[in-house]
Amino acid sequence: MKTTAERIGDVTIQGSTADNKQSGPVQTSTVQGGNNLDPWYHHYADRAAGLKASEVRALFAVASRPEVVSLAGGMPYVAALPQDLVINAMERVMREKGATALQYGSGQGVPLLREQILDVMALEGIKANADDVVVTTGSQHALELVSKLFLNPGDVVISEGPSYVTAMVIFKSYQAEVDHVPMDENGLIPAALIEHIAALKAAGRTIKFLYTIPSFHNPAGITLSWTRRMEILEICRSNNILVLEDNPYGLLYFDKQAPDAIRSLERDGVVYLGTFSKTLAPGFRVGWALAPHAIREKLVLANEAAVLSPSSFTQMVISEYLSTADWKGQINTFRGVYHERKNAMLAALEEYLPDLTWTNPTGGFYVWVTLPEQLDSKAMLPRAVKELVAYTPGTAFYADGDGRQNMRLAFCYPTPESIRVGIRRLATVIRGELDLLDTFAGTGALGAAPDRPGARNQRYAGPPANVS
């Protein structure tokens, strides 16, 4: 039987996510000189090669073990949501609208919920028409539908570097390439975006859209400034590039609200993705896309082709919740929970790993940490799990495998005390790795950490929050 550390090694280093189990004799096929246990390997479409487990999802199996402090997955702390609010909404829906709730529905979504989504988006400066809202099975589904509509093999998606891991899985599944543009402490760098667009055009590449997470970025925790939102939108306008704005964390600010959404500035050149997963609960699997009218029509058709209709039941429960509960107050409760946990994480980093560098997010779920340049966060992960702590290696957030000097730490789910324990264990791992390197290679001690995130690859160029 494999140990936890051995299993995590299989998952993140070798790429295996599950054992192959077959009821009959194992059939093999030779692929590029090796054996493949899948008898249907040669039948798959070429695009299936892009369907690989993300490092974050692969971590869940071992990181969810009770003895492991998981700073890896971005699971919302749903225990902060009173269950009575959900139970009452469900009971009212079944009592008053049960027959409708249990039936097929519209491919665009429940009309009342689409109207209520306008109220949610208005908190971030967006004015829109409910007719341009398409309800999806989570915002991840909306992202997949947009990719299906726009991406051909060989197309380019521009995104921040680093970027959301599962977005890159989707883009790759449609055989598109991701071009990462660097960030600093104010978010995506406009001058770098101009350079990347020019280089891609000079190479004859087709750019389909800019994918961006402007508020409380996953994984970097950075928020794009208002000035840059306007600059980046103008750059995309002048180059006829669609902006795909993914905003799952925008309402989860701590002290100061993020700037208004990019979509508040532009109706025709932006597709906006939203979700109830972070402000209510992910188990409902309800998100949405707000799109220009022509794109909206195609999104509805794609939605119908994929799922016929999003769940009428979950939509109506959320609609009832929004109608009867203090949903804004509940979001404020979540803000307080996450703010406390972020502070606990930063305090633990200062106590146990003061020579490292990290970001100080003003909302969201994540801290982005930079290691001494001689360390490799991916190679170090099995040892970390052996010490009963998990994180996500920075390589998960780059399409080209960069980011080995970085790691993402999630503070959203563990308690403050568990966070402190996890950081203490992580410090043990890091110091052990450095001691080992120092013994065999003379690489130096922890104090040799670089003075800012991204110093190894220059992609994430901003000064970290803990460096004055």
Residue 458 forms part of a structural domain: no
Are 35 and 118 part of one and the same domain? no
Terminal-residue alpha carbon distance, the chain: 48
* CA–CA gap between residue 230 and residue 259 (Å, rounded): 11
Are 284 and 151 part of one and the same domain? yes
Cβ(243)–Cβ(188) below 8 Å? no
Residue 302 DSSP one-character state: H
* CA–CA gap between residue 140 and residue 165 (Å, rounded): 11
For residue 318, give the nearest of 132, 120, 126 by alpha carbon.
120
Are 233 and 199 part of one and the same domain? yes
Residue 71 forms part of a structural domain: yes
pTM of the predicted structure, to 2 decimals = 0.86
Residue 455 forms part of a structural domain: no
Are 100 and 63 part of one and the same domain? no
* CA–CA gap between residue 81 and residue 197 (Å, rounded): 43
Backbone torsion region of residue 182, taken as left when φ is above 0, otherwise alpha when ψ lies between -120 and 50, otherwise beta: beta
Are 89 and 207 part of one and the same domain? yes
Note down the domain range covering 205. Answer: 83-324
Residue 352 forms part of a structural domain: yes
Return the pLDDT at 38.
86
Domain with residue 350: its CATH number is 3.90.1150.10
Residue 453 forms part of a structural domain: no
- On the CB side of 252, CA atoms within 13 Å amount to 30
Are 404 and 375 part of one and the same domain? yes
Calculate ∠ Cα 212-213-217, nearest 5°: 140
Are 11 and 74 part of one and the same domain? no
Are 169 and 280 part of one and the same domain? yes
Backbone torsion region of residue 458, taken as left when φ is above 0, otherwise alpha when ψ lies between -120 and 50, otherwise beta: left
* CA–CA gap between residue 413 and residue 74 (Å, rounded): 7
Q: From 300, 324, 348, give the residue that closes a domain.
A: 324
Mapping DSSP to helix (H, G, I), strand (E, B) and coil, where does residue 135 land? strand
Mapping DSSP to helix (H, G, I), strand (E, B) and coil, where does residue 25 land? coil
Are 354 and 250 part of one and the same domain? no
Report in angstroms the alpha-carbon separations of 24 from 20, 36, 238. Answer: 12, 16, 59
Residue 237 forms part of a structural domain: yes
For residue 334, give the nearest of 363, 362, 356, 354 by alpha carbon.
363
* CA–CA gap between residue 35 and residue 451 (Å, rounded): 46
Cβ(124)–Cβ(247) below 8 Å? yes
For residue 260, give the nearest of 126, 120, 361 by alpha carbon.
126
* CA–CA gap between residue 38 and residue 61 (Å, rounded): 22
Neighbours of 20 (CB within 10 A): 9
Domain with residue 302: its CATH number is 3.40.640.10
For residue 133, give the nearest of 307, 372, 315 by alpha carbon.
315
Return the pLDDT at 458.
34
Are 316 and 196 part of one and the same domain? yes
Are 266 and 176 part of one and the same domain? yes
When divided into structural domains, the chain yields a total of 3
What residues are paired with 30 via a beta bridge? Answer: 35
Long-range contacts of 388-391 (CB under 8 A, 24+ apart): 388/67, 388/68, 388/69, 388/425, 389/68, 389/69, 389/70, 389/71, 389/422, 389/425, 389/426, 389/429, 390/8, 390/59, 390/62, 390/63, 390/68, 390/69, 390/70, 390/71, 390/72, 391/71, 391/72, 391/426
Cis link prior to 214 (omega < 30° from 0)? no
Q: From 306, 324, 342, give the residue that closes a domain.
A: 324
Cβ(211)–Cβ(167) below 8 Å? yes
For residue 146, give the nearest of 299, 277, 270, 248 by alpha carbon.
299
Q: Which residue bears the tokens 């406390």?
A: 340
Are 46 and 129 part of one and the same domain? no
Return averaged pLDDT per consecutive 10 residues of the chain, 468 residues in all.
45 34 39 65 84 65 81 95 96 96 96 98 98 97 98 98 96 96 97 99 98 98 98 98 98 97 96 98 98 97 96 98 97 98 99 97 98 95 94 95 96 98 98 89 49 36 40
Tokens representing 21?
């189990």
Backbone torsion region of residue 460, taken as left when φ is above 0, otherwise alpha when ψ lies between -120 and 50, otherwise beta: beta
Cβ(156)–Cβ(208) below 8 Å? yes
Residue 365 forms part of a structural domain: yes
